[in-house]
Amino acid sequence: MSVSDLLTRLKRRLSLEGDDHDELLCDLIADAHALMLAYMNRTELPEALIPALLRLSCMLYNRLGMEGESQRSEGSVSMTVDSLPQEIISQLTPYRLMRTVQL
């Protein structure tokens, strides 16, 4: 799937219109892609994980301004944030490659 297609789908999920956010959204897609590949020990993302890539990109967008925080409290509302949410991890785990260690 092309970056343009991913960008269009991400903008639709986030209810964004116009080109004002395109560079930011492309950066978030690239960040989500890198996180997923690192977790799975892969160099290419399987096509079946495109929905997870979009979901993680949305999460990264919604967490802008919280970089470096793992927990936030505002009034009576408390929120904890994982770098890679369990929902995404459960989708990635079947595609994860194990590394071998030579002694």
24-70 tens-digit pLDDT: 999 999 999 999 999 999 999 999 999 999 999 999 998 887 766 66
Compute CA distances 2 → 29, 39, 45, 82, 89, whole Å.
12, 22, 13, 28, 24
Query: CATH top-level class for 3-95?
Result: mainly alpha
List the domain boundaries for the chain: 3-95
Please give the share of the chain, as a percent, with pLDDT higher than 90. 60
Structure confidence at residue 79 (pLDDT): 65
pTM for this structure? 0.82
Indicate if the alpha-carbon torsion angle 18, 21, 26, 31 is positive or negative: negative
Query: Residue 93, SS3?
Result: helix
On average, the pLDDT of the chain sits at 87
